Structure 1
């Protein structure tokens, strides 16, 4: 386990996001590694029915379940809104398969939602002339996220959606360990005019250097915005009482407890938290102002995931510049892209301990975000239907 598992842990952490636009910032996964991907069936319909917070939480539950199954050992993963993808060394393949099988069964039983899951070796992807390469981006001194390139994850997701390499749901009834998964924060309204979710992918004919240049130009455009378009203010998101996702979190975190008991526990805990945040001063070693600033610092509002994905707090003027640049590149056959605009962003959190600064926060648009941007990409690229939805 040691040598293979340490590959990701020993990757150097990139400190500047723009540096990740360079193809040479990424390193191929070692031979034998296993790729896993998940997504929610009919997520667009669930979003239309107003259940996007549920969609986001189930997508993030994949990562929380794996973190707990691996006892917080680092591994590369990416949150996609309505699902997640990750990679593990071969010695963890069985743990990943069992975790996803349990999660599939539990999500269907608890929410009546179907979660797809698939697992395949990296060699299968490489036999298609594709690859999964990875980089490690440090958003702060205490948190980092994996970035992916090479086209392999997108191919794996297409195979999953066609039914290949599927992980069947387990027959077990026990809930998976989702300790740390949380959704207590209110949505964050746009400060610059709108929240723009963007999904950009290179075409199969695209020169990696051209895509690298395009990504760099997109980042230059959003650099005009305050904090590069970061949608979560430095003071952190708002805490509303009772939290809007309290019952959802209760269902996700109750384990074997009765739902009413877990909900009551969260109501009491949220009331105490509200008092601590309202007081604004350190109490018993917990500093609420520091905690809120860490949420902002540790949020993943930009990522490379076989392309570039961003959810940015954007002005109409910068939005227009972004769209013009993307439309020119699309017309030249260099990219496919999709967009979705909304008036707020949301964060979904994994907090192993409120007393540490290594908690992670997944940012998405509050009314469809990446899922609707992916659907927009499909409409623009009818021959690619099924790749991202």
Structure 2
């Protein structure tokens, strides 16, 4: 197997709970590269109600890398206000150029400061950590990477300290963000609240104990209807014109004038609205099937050097999960953060509406993973003070 074919060669798992076991993960080849990015002061954008923009910019690195690698599979994970990924050494220059152009684009288009870093896996292992991956198949056509080993968290901390920086590109062409869209309405909670959960092993804690705790949390979530999936069976609702039209125009316009791109998108979304309102295919596009696959392919749960969940749940389930995690934190096994909100967001990467390999990132609509991670950090600081 070539280094480039490493990830594609991993067998996808359909059992999410099995990913609590470290044996489910395979270490990245030593000469691979890890990239990451996130928005500086994303809490300020959240406070002004711009979390849809935060999520879209966070997912932009994934869309840009998918397009830059022209379909070559690679592991990535969406983090709300940023993303992380890994690529073979032969793609290091592509990753560096893509991150550099993303930084310039985020600044020029949204006046947002996007951090970015790129470093070899071997440097992470020199710190006594690792980057291991698994593939979780949500359907026959789509799967997501899961990460373990502590290496991604360490790389992100170094990035926030200015380490391994990828500078913004000077006078760049915009990144290719084809497929990145944000047309759906927010998704109201149907069972009480949208609960964002971030859980990580405490420094030096046993991974066996963490796996047990993660399994306990998942066992509670599994008792919920559809395991707490926040997207309804029929998919999110769609308004016309969609609330994210201007945002998508900014994302997808490239060098085109914004007004021209908005007019083009207005035409496209008119056709989409007609198709979505029908119960039968239109021009080969089956909106009912597409909505079904959107729900199936949504990433409302993931492992990202820890456990992340976005659940639609009642207060008593939140309390039960919080009780499990609080006891585990007191025992020194985990650190965690929870954040409640009334709605969820979906951000999509759709290479083609005629295929089933589109992916959909789920987050809370009022801070989500970003706010849960901040609460986790605050609780950890308080515990060590």
Task: Give the TM-score, by structure 2 length.
Answer: 0.98
Q: Which residues of 2 match residues 2-151 of structure 1 at below 5 A?
A: 3-151=2-150
Report SS of the residue matched to 1:239. coil
Q: Which moved more, 1:268-277 or 1:161-170?
A: 268-277
Q: Matches of 1:272 and 1:282 in 2, distance apart?
A: 12
Offset of 1:205 from its aligned partner? Answer: 2.1
- In structure 2, how many angstroms separate the alpha carbons of the residues matched to 1:172 and 1:28? 37
* Aligned counterpart, 2:253: 254
Distance 1:270 1:117, change over 3 A: same
> Deviation digits for residues 307-328 of structure 1, max 9, x if unmatched?
0000011111111100000000
Measured in 1, the distance between the counterparts of 2:139 and 2:316 equals: 29
Q: How many residues align?
A: 384
Listed as ranges, the gaps of 5+ residues in structure 2 are: none
Task: For 1:1-389, list aligned pairs within 5 A.
Answer: 3-382=2-381
CA 1:185–1:384 in 2, change beyond 3 Å: closer, same or farther?
farther
2:382, 2:257 → 1: CA distance?
47
- SS of residue paired to 1:381: helix
For residues 119-140 of structure 1, what are the alpha-carbon distances to aligned partners after superposition, in whole Å with 9 as ceiling and x for unaligned?
1111110011000000000011
Per-residue Cα deviation, 1:339-363 (whole angstroms, up to 9, x for no partner) = 1000111100000000000000000
What are the Cα deviations for residues 258-303 of structure 1, in whole angstroms up to 9, with x where unaligned?
1001001111111111111112211221111000010000000000
Question: In 2, Cα distance between the equivalents of 1:234 and 1:93?
Answer: 40
- Indicate the RMSD between aligned Cα atoms, in angstroms: 1.1
Q: CA deviation at 1:383?
A: 7.1
Q: Distance in 2 between matches of 1:275 and 1:103?
A: 34
Aligned to 1:285, the other structure's residue is in SS state coil
Q: Secondary structure at the match of 1:13?
A: coil
**Using the alignment, how far apart are the partners of 1:164 and 1:21 within structure 2?**
30
Distance of 1:126 and 1:226 partners within structure 2: 41
Separation in structure 1 between the aligned mates of residue 253 and residue 58 of structure 2, nearest angstrom:
18
Distance 1:288 1:164 in 2: 45
4+ aligned runs moved over 2 Å, structure 1: none
Partner SS for 1:361: strand
Q: Which sits farther off after the overlay, 204-213 or 56-65? A: 204-213
Deviation at residue 234 of structure 1 after TM alignment: 1.8
Please report the TM-score for the alignment, with normalisation by the length of structure 1.
0.97
Give the CA deviation at 1:172.
Answer: 2.4
Partners of 1:378 and 1:384 within 8 A in 2? no
Q: Distance in 2 between matches of 1:101 and 1:370?
A: 25
Counterpart CA distance in 1 for 2:216 and 2:166 is: 40
